[in-house]
Amino acid sequence: MIALLGEVSIISETLGDVQLKPDGCYFIDGQYAYADFLDYSDREDLLLHDERFNTVVGLVLDQLSYVSKLGETVHWHSFTLTVERMNGIRVEQVRVQKST
Per-residue pLDDT at 87 exceeds 80: yes
State mean pLDDT over 92-97. 96
- For the chain, how many structural domains are there in total? 1
Residue 93, domain extent = 28-98
Q: Is residue 21 in a domain?
A: no
- Exposure string of 12-36, with b = 16+ CB inside 10 Å and e = fewer, is eeebbeeeeeeeeebbbbbbbbbeb
pTM of the model: 0.78
Q: Is residue 12 in a domain?
A: no
Q: Per DSSP, what are the bridge partners of residue 64?
A: none
CATH number, domain containing residue 58: 3.30.465.10
CA distance 80 to 25: 10
pLDDT at 14: 39
